[in-house]
Amino acid sequence: MNTGRVHTTPPQIVLGTMDFGTRVDRERAFAVLDSFVAGGGRWLDTANCYSFWADPEGVGGASERVIGAWLRARPGARDAVRIATKVRQNPLVPGSWPQSAEGLSAPAVRKGAEESLRRLGVDHLDLLWAHAEDRAVPLQETVGAFGELVGRGVALRIGAANHTAWRVERARSLARERHMAPWTALQLRHSLLQPRPLTPVAEAGHRMLTAEDLDLAATEGLTVWSYSSLLWGSYTRPDKPLPPTYDHPGTERVLAVLGALADELSATRNQVVLAWLMRQGIHPIVGASRPDHVEEALAARQVRLADEHMARFAAAR
């Protein structure tokens, strides 16, 4: 029986590919992927719904198709990367979301995974995420569908994105009862700067990482991935202002510490943020549209934050 306890690996930079095939054309996407692999990057993060909101056809699949084309054009590349994708949010009717989102019924999970395999041109997924909760479907049905995919070798591992901690643990309990593979990874939004407490973020479907999530992960040996890790460039780009919900005194204090540490460590602000996440055992997802973005992100692996640096950030919040 798979108990769900895993040996967590050292945190890694994950390449976010959400804009591939829409805002990032195939040629640039190939250059980004090449740079990522050349720099020792391993994990690619995508979803079957990326990016329906930016695609004239109104449905997802563009990102997976670009990755699949890159794999075909680069013999041996499949052995160099691990691929994580997601099911749950792809519109079944073009342009109709969330009304026609595929959901997490057993047929939807199976079909979503099969279509991802086809677009990617691979025979298995290294990690398959449930992209968000679907409370219209009994949790045991979703758990059974994901466990079945692991049993068939379609997915090597499974995880939950944008789920509450109690739903994750309930799902893991159901999997244990049925002697099936459980979710062993969490993906949630997290970065150094935090929005005002109890203030919802504007982005539909985003769920913030909480202390409870980290407690669950540490207790059960779950892997944690963070998205929106660099807040869309807001740490470094004047043309990317922070959303209004980040307008509070703690933001300025943390940014002051961030600037000081970046100078002291001869690193960029983005690299310090990524180092801060990895120092906590979190795998940060970084979206990139140019090879130099990838190079900057991967260089964060060389930035070492000491206990004193972490304490300075904690005191500024």
Residue 8 lies in a domain: no
Give how far Cα 42 sits from Cα of 27, 33, 157, 248, 277, Å. 20, 10, 16, 36, 18
pLDDT for 5? 42
pLDDT of residue 307: 98
264 inside domain: no
Cα-Cα end-to-end distance for the chain: 43
**Cα angle 189, 67, 163; round to 5:** 25
Report if residue 46 sits inside a domain. Answer: yes
In angstroms, the CA 237 to CA 268 distance is 12
pLDDT at 8: 60
Distance CA 267, CA 5 (A): 35
Range of the domain at 226: 14-244+274-306
* Alpha carbon 108 to chain centroid, angstroms: 21
Model pTM score? 0.95
CATH of the domain at 79: 3.20.20.100
- Cβ 267 vs Cβ 6: under 8 Å: no
Q: Say how far apart CA 157 and CA 130 lie, in whole Å.
A: 11
Within the chain, which residues score under 70 in pLDDT? 1-8
- pLDDT at position 299: 98
Amino acid at 159: G
Q: Residue 80 is inside which H or E element, if any? A: helix 77-80
- H or E, element range at 307: helix 307-316
Residue 268 lies in a domain: no
The whole-number pLDDT of residue 184 equals: 98
Report yes or no on 313 lying in a domain: no
Number of H helices and E strands in the chain, helices first, is 11, 8
Strands, DSSP E only, in the chain? Answer: 14-16, 43-45, 82-87, 127-130, 158-161, 185-189, 223-227, 282-287
Does 258 map to a domain? Answer: no
Residue at 6 is within a domain: no
Q: Three-state SS for 90?
A: coil
Query: Among residues 284, 317, 288, which one has the least CA distance to residue 303?
Result: 284
Q: What angle do CA 121, 54, 274 make, to 5 degrees?
A: 75
As for how many domains the chain has, the answer is 1
Tell me what pLDDT residue 139 has: 98
Residue of 180, 118, 116, 176 lying closest to 150 (CA atoms):
180
Contacts of 257 (CB under 8 A, 6+ apart): 312, 313, 316
User: Cα-atom radius of gyration of the chain, to the nearest Å?
Assistant: 19
Residue 49 placed within a domain: yes
Say how far apart CA 33 and CA 72 lie, in whole Å: 13
- CA dist., res. 85 & res. 49, Å (int): 9
**What pLDDT shows up at residue 229?**
98
Q: How many residues are recorded in the chain?
A: 317
Amino acid present at 129: W
Query: What pLDDT is attached to residue 1?
Result: 33
